[in-house]
Amino acid sequence: MKRKRLIVQNRDGVYHLMSRCCLGEHLLEDEEKEMFIRMMGRQAAFCGVDILAYSIMSNHFHILSRVRHEKPKTDAELLSRYREFHEGCRISPYSITPDGLEKMLERDDEIAQHARDALLARMGDVSVFMRELKQRFTIWYNHQNGSRGTLWMERFKSLVVEPSLQAMATVAAYIDLNAVRSGQVDDPADYRFCSYAAAIAGKTTAMEGYRMIYGGRSFEEAMAGFRLCLFGKGAKPKGEVDKDRGVIPLEKLDAVIRSGGKVEMSELLRRKVRYFSDGMAIGSKLFLKGIFEEHRERFPASRKSRFASMKGADWGGLQVVRDLKVDVFG
C-alpha cells in the first residue's frame, strides 16, 4: 500500500525530496544536470522554496528544501517573482507576459483576482514545486533529445526534516555524499553537480543554503561544522589521501550493528541509509510527536506515538517515524 505523503501545515517545512528517472535509466548527462540545476533555482525562487542542499545524479536527484509558508502580500511582490521566473525565457502562447500580468492586476477586477489566486496557489506548496520543476525539465529534455513521454518513474518521494541544525546538516551531508557512495569521487567537492561543490566554488546561492542550515552563521563557520559531518573529526585536508576512510564493508557493518555497536557517522553516511529516504520524517522525538499528531488520521488507530531510534552510528538523538527492519543499510 502506498503511504500518503506527510506535509507540514501552516508553517515553513523542510523536506528531503527525491525522484528517479524511468526504470532507473541513466539519462542525465552533464548538460542535462546543469540545466536541471538552473531550472531548479528559478522554480524555487518563484515558488518560495529555499534550496539548502542538492545532488543531481545521472538517474535521480536529491534536494533538501525549505518551503516557505508565507506568500507574497502585494501585487508588487507577486509581479517581481513572476518577472524573475520568466526572465530570459520564451513565454508559452498559453501564458501571460509579465507586462500583460501587470496591466491585468492594475484593473483589480474579478479577472485580476482570479490571476492572483492562480499564481499564489503555485507558491508555498512542495507538491507544486516538484510537479512544475519536473514537468518543465521534461519538456526541455524531450525537445533537446527528440524524445517523447515522461522522464520520471514516480511523482516523488519525500522525508519531512526537523528544521534543526542536527537534522538538516545530517541530511545535507547524506545528499552531498551521493557521488562518493556511487564511487565517482572521493571528495564531494570534486562532483560539480552537488551543492557542496558549488558552495566551495563560490556560488552564492549554494553558499547561502549552508548558512541557512547553520542558522545564519558565516559561510566559513558553516563549512567548518559541515565538514565534520562529511569527513568526521579525523579527516585529512583535501588533497591528502586517507586510506583508512571509505565505505565500510557491508559484512563488517552488519556485524557491528548485530552486536549493538556503532561506527562513525561520517563513515555510515557513505552507505545507502534508508532512514533518509523511507523514514517518513526525521528529527527529535518532540518534533516527530508533533508531526504524528498533525497527521494522526493517516496512521492506524492502534499506532502509538512511538518512533524508531536510528541504528549504526551516533546520530545525535535523531529518530524516524517508520521503524525500518530490513535492508536499512545498502
- DSSP code string of 146-209: T--S--BSSS-EEEEE-SSHHHHHHHHHHHHTHHHHTTS-SSGGG-TTBHHHHHHTT-HHHHHH
Strands (E), the chain: 13-20, 49-56, 60-67, 157-161, 281-283, 308-309, 319-320
What share of the chain has pLDDT > 70, as a percent?
A: 92
Q: What is the pLDDT of residue 256?
A: 79
Query: Is the pLDDT assigned to residue 36 strictly greater than 50?
Result: yes
Answer whether residue 3 is part of any domain: no
Task: Give me the number of domains the chain comprises.
Answer: 3
Cell of 324: 525500518
In a domain, residue 6? The reply is: no
pLDDT for the residue 96: 86
> Is a pLDDT exceeding 90 seen at residue 328?
no
Q: Give the tens place of pLDDT for each residue, 135-152.
A: 999 999 999 999 998 899
Residue 197: give the domain boundaries: 11-71+123-245
Q: Which residues of 116-152 are buried (b: 16+ CB within 10 A; e: fewer)?
A: beebeebbbbbebbbebbbebbbeebeeeeeeeeebb
Of the residues 225, 245, 265, the one at which a domain ends: 245
Query: Is the pLDDT at 88 greater than 70, yes or no?
Result: no
Query: Residue 176 falls within a domain, yes or no?
Result: yes
> Which CATH number characterizes residue 212's domain?
3.30.70.1290
- 322 and 275 in a common domain: yes
Q: What confidence score (pLDDT) does residue 94 get?
A: 58
- State the pLDDT confidence band at 2, using cuts at 50, 70 and 90: low
Give which of 252, 306, 299, 307 is closest to 275, Cα–Cα. 307
pLDDT range class, residue 301, cuts 50, 70, 90: confident
**Residues 155 and 256 reside in one and the same domain:** no
pLDDT at res. 300: 87
pLDDT tens per residue across span 230-282: 998 765 545 444 444 556 677 777 787 778 788 889 989 999 999 999 999 99
Question: Under a CB-based contact definition with an 8 Å cutoff, are residues 171 and 282 in contact?
Answer: yes
Look at residue 246 in the predicted model and tell me its pLDDT: 55
| pLDDT tens, residue by residue, 51-64 | 999 999 999 999 99
Q: Where residue 329 falls among pLDDT bands split at 50, 70, 90? A: confident
- Contacts (Cβ under 8 Å, ≥6 apart) of 203: none
Please state whether 124 falls in left (phi above 0), alpha (psi between -120 and 50) or beta.
Answer: left
The answer to whether residues 144 and 47 belong to one domain is yes
Residue 67 clears pLDDT 70, i.e. is over it = yes
- Please tell me whether the overall predicted TM-score, pTM, comes out greater than 0.85 for this model: yes
pLDDT of residue 259: 82
